[in-house]
């Protein structure tokens, strides 16, 4: 792995959000002004092919990324702000397993992405994104 690829991998690992390629490029460029956007795209594709990185589509027309090492979790996407909240819910996972079993399957994996907007009456802010 080249030094620039290592840098891009570190930027991804340090991210506490779900950056798209353009944001990864901006962050990497701040650390090494010789990084090209093409190198970022190639590195992201390589890391995705190797199963190190997951691509997510939260709307907005751009794929966003997160390391696979973060384990099983789900996402709630605020459609008004684009904010992504990570969460784990054991009750939902049990329900998903029960649905798979009822249909004659053993659940191997699943993803849950909920797109929502805050209720107008809701005065409490959204919980912070889950720590990684």
pTM above 0.85, yes or no: no
The answer to whether residue 93 scores a pLDDT higher than 70 is yes
Residue 13 neighbours by CB under 8 Å, 6+ apart = 67
| pLDDT tens-place string over residues 25-82 | 999 999 998 999 999 999 989 988 888 888 887 767 778 777 776 667 888 888 888 8
Q: Where in the chain is the domain with CATH 1.10.10.10?
A: 3-69
CA separation for the pair 51, 69 (Å, rounded): 10
Task: Tell me which CATH code domain 71-116 carries.
Answer: 3.30.1490.190
Contacts of 19 (CB under 8 A, 6+ apart): 12, 27, 64, 65
User: 3-69 is classed in which CATH architecture?
Assistant: Orthogonal Bundle (1.10)
Q: How confident is the model at residue 1 (pLDDT cuts 50, 70, 90)?
A: low
């Amino acid at each position: 792995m080249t030094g620039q690829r290592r840098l891009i991998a570190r930027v991804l690992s340090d991210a506490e959000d779900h950056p798209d390629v353009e944001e990864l490029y901006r962050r990497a460029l701040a650390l090494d002004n010789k990084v090209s956007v093409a190198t970022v795209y190639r590195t992201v594709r390589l890391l995705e092919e190797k199963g190190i990185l997951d691509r997510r589509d939260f709307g907005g027309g751009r794929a966003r990324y997160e390391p696979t090492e973060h384990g099983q979790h789900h996402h709630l996407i605020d459609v008004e702000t684009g904010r992504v909240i990570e969460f784990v819910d054991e009750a939902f996972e049990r329900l998903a397993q029960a649905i798979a079993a009822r249909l004659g399957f053993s659940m191997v994996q699943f993803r849950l992405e909920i797109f929502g907007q805050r209720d107008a009456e809701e005065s409490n802010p959204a919980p912070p994104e889950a720590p990684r």
